[in-house]
A and B are shown apart, each in its own frame.
Chain A
């Protein structure tokens, strides 16, 4: 039997209510050259019966003898799959019928890609559009530059259920670390990047991703921090160093030092993570890494380095930002001075016009003149405030002030036009 083009990888664990939708969406694909490798991780519900009920020879059910967890099940599936492309789809998600066709077309356009992801549509536990989809989707569905180190610092922008991975590349970079629970995907993606895999991203929300309360990633933010740190120290930071991306290295340390979860690990673990970010010791596997965070430091060197790293990371100002702020400040100051001079010129003109109007004795202008008086008082007040700010080099206050002067100037400008119109009529 020849190898299929696609191997869908479906990890099943107590999703009896959802997996039918998942499998149906696979069977409904416009590309039909596939196998489906379903690995059931000892579900205690009727998931396996649902899977067996299809009777489609392309669906291969592998039943774990004991619960291996997500990463372990994933490895079983990858090793069993025969297709050129591994198509990930978790058992609670589903995909649009043309998803794989569109992805294969993109891969034909750029054959250098090894891992191709896509945008997602957020659904809730009932399969309906998620109540917060409008708010959350724009945070996820962006034009991520997945081949850049900086894109991966402190975040995983790639949803596994949207991905298609070249099997040959996957076997080259290796399987998931089975000890990881919270961020094995992140570790895998960063390892792939570090080992030269090319990423692509389709801006088609073809994956329907179920945002559930029982999702593992968000249930343990501390565990996520430690696993992401491991991936950073093992993969991302050495790659940044090799590419001379020293600002990115610094950003990784900053991500760690400013992470709200850093106070939830022990001080030694926090300091050790920072020390590792600075020294990048070679890593064998996650359990050894996890254990080493607690180990004594007989020389005290790691503790010192870690403390220094955390302090520096917390105090860090992004490179170039200060220069940009100063440049912006100069621009805002210039704008303020321009609008001040404009406002003063308009005010002089308005005074002149109001004097002319009063001399003309036009009664209809009484209310206009009263308004002019109010505006002039407001302008004087705004100017007082602005003068008080002159000594204050704060960028945002300056901008607000420039805006206020502009608003006052604009009111005076409109008033001048009205006066001119009235004068024209009188």
Chain B
């Protein structure tokens, strides 16, 4: 019955779509590498503006499921069959809007299942969780900010923080030469072209800085639904000569090797990997103080917190770096040290694994009734 722990050990991760290089996809891959039976399901074959990961390694072992035919009223039937067939004991909801209503219906059929949500920020899924939370055993978050938003909430699910990290052996300082005094810096945007990451805010900031210091250079890496809009905005900008839109980068290290300072102008964010990757590469960051970002930035050691609209402060920070090469060199070094001390990916993977195993070991949350 519902109150006893099911022996099923399989894990099903529900995604909307599978983006190349995304953190949750790498976590699932690592869990498989560690010997766990993980099946990934997605229901959108494509997403506008993103490069998809075909997950051939999962498909080769029949661990990739296409749920695009499960839209509509038949979703729970399909999920129920998958759960039975693969001995699934834990379902991870990873940003799948479709999944919220479906999983509530599935839970009614299979009260022995554990459901765990993953919320990176307080965006749309956070709102969905506010409605569907009572079905969930737990929710995993990355930042203390999300813990404080969720802990003790009416949903009744446990909340657990897993601090994300990056591969610090792969993200290493590229040896980009320090620019001689007087040479203008390259400021970069590296991230999704989507509203919450605010790429247009970067352009606006670049315009203001360009007006003050015409020698500054700006590059933008990334793709997403807003790519076209961003390019059009640059084309119409008075700073267009100084802003270079480079689009999708084969690997973030390529982008990070081309910039001196990373700018993260997000309006809504969790714990962006770009900041950790930049620091690991010895690139300091100027980032908006939103979501979990303040937890990542060590002011003056790994970067600075600065709202993107505060262009005067941004300009001041850039000028200080520009005119103090020794200080800039020290900042680069300390950024790497911060990454080594705090952003190690292995620790994150261990924490995810422990969270999943704990969820599987605990009895499923019982199906509620009125009595």
Binding site for B on A (CB under 8 A): 112, 145, 147-150, 172-173, 193-196, 235, 238-239, 242-247, 318-321, 323-324, 327
Residues of A within 8 A of B107 (CB): 243
B109 x A243 contact (CB < 8 A) = no
Residue of B nearest to A150 (CB): B105
Main secondary structure of the interface of B (DSSP, over half): helix
What are some 11 contacts across the A-B interface (CB < 8 A)?
A: A112-B1, A149-B108, A172-B371, A173-B371, A194-B371, A195-B369, A243-B134, A243-B135, A244-B133, A244-B135, A323-B71
Q: When the two chains form the complex, which single residue of A145, A242, A246, A321 contacts B369, counting CB atoms closer than 8 Å?
A: A242
Residue of A nearest to B69 (CB): A327
The verdict on A148 contacting B108 (CB below 8 Å), with A247-B101, A320-B73 known, is: yes
Residue of A nearest to B103 (CB): A244
A244 x B369 contact (CB < 8 A) = no
Most buried by A among B75, B133, B370: B370
Bound-complex Cα distance A34 to B199 (A): 77
Q: Can you add 17 more A-B contacts, CB < 8 Å, to A243-B135, A323-B71, A327-B68?
A: A148-B108, A194-B370, A194-B371, A238-B370, A239-B370, A243-B134, A243-B367, A243-B368, A244-B104, A244-B131, A244-B134, A245-B108, A246-B131, A321-B73, A323-B72, A327-B71, A327-B72
Residue of B nearest to A323 (CB): B71
* In the assembled complex, B158 has its CB within 8 A of some CB on chain A: no
Residues of B within 8 A of A242 (CB): 134, 368-370
Residues of B within 8 A of A245 (CB): 104-105, 108
Binding site for A on B (CB under 8 A): 1, 68-69, 71-75, 101, 104-105, 107-109, 131-135, 367-371
A-B contact count (CB 8 A): 68
Most buried by A among B72, B107, B133, B368: B72
Residues of B within 8 A of A327 (CB): 68-69, 71-72
Residues of B within 8 A of A243 (CB): 104, 107-108, 134-135, 367-368
Residues of A within 8 A of B371 (CB): 172-173, 194-196
How many whole Å from A303's CB to the nearest CB in chain B?
Answer: 27
Bound-complex Cα distance A319 to B369 (A): 24
Bound-complex Cα distance A32 to B370 (A): 37
B72 x A324 contact (CB < 8 A) = yes
B370 x A148 contact (CB < 8 A) = no
How many whole Å from B258's CB to the nearest CB in chain A?
Answer: 42
How many whole Å from B296's CB to the nearest CB in chain A?
Answer: 33
Residue of B nearest to A326 (CB): B71
Q: When the two chains form the complex, which single residue of B1, B68, B109 contacts A148, counting CB atoms closer than 8 Å?
A: B109
Bound-complex Cα distance A323 to B69 (A): 10
Q: When the two chains form the complex, which single residue of A193, A319, A324 contacts B101, counting CB atoms closer than 8 Å?
A: A319
Residue of B nearest to A173 (CB): B371
Residue of B nearest to A172 (CB): B371
Bound-complex Cα distance A319 to B135 (A): 20
Residues of B within 8 A of A247 (CB): 101, 105
Q: When the two chains form the complex, which single residue of A172, A173, A195, A318 contacts B73, counting CB atoms closer than 8 Å?
A: A318
Residues of A within 8 A of B75 (CB): 320
Residues of A within 8 A of B105 (CB): 148, 150, 245, 247
Q: When the two chains form the complex, which single residue of B109, B133, B369 contacts A194, counting CB atoms closer than 8 Å?
A: B369
Bound-complex Cα distance A150 to B133 (A): 20
How many whole Å from B235's CB to the nearest CB in chain A?
Answer: 35
Residue of A nearest to B136 (CB): A244
How many whole Å from B127's CB to the nearest CB in chain A?
Answer: 13
How many whole Å from B365's CB to the nearest CB in chain A?
Answer: 11
How many whole Å from A386's CB to the nearest CB in chain B?
Answer: 26
Bound-complex Cα distance A296 to B102 (A): 40
Residues of B within 8 A of A320 (CB): 71-73, 75
A324 x B71 contact (CB < 8 A) = yes
Residues of A within 8 A of B109 (CB): 145, 148
How many whole Å from B81's CB to the nearest CB in chain A?
Answer: 14
Bound-complex Cα distance A321 to B72 (A): 5
Residue of B nearest to A195 (CB): B371
Residue of B nearest to A112 (CB): B1
Residues of A within 8 A of B370 (CB): 194-196, 235, 238-239, 242
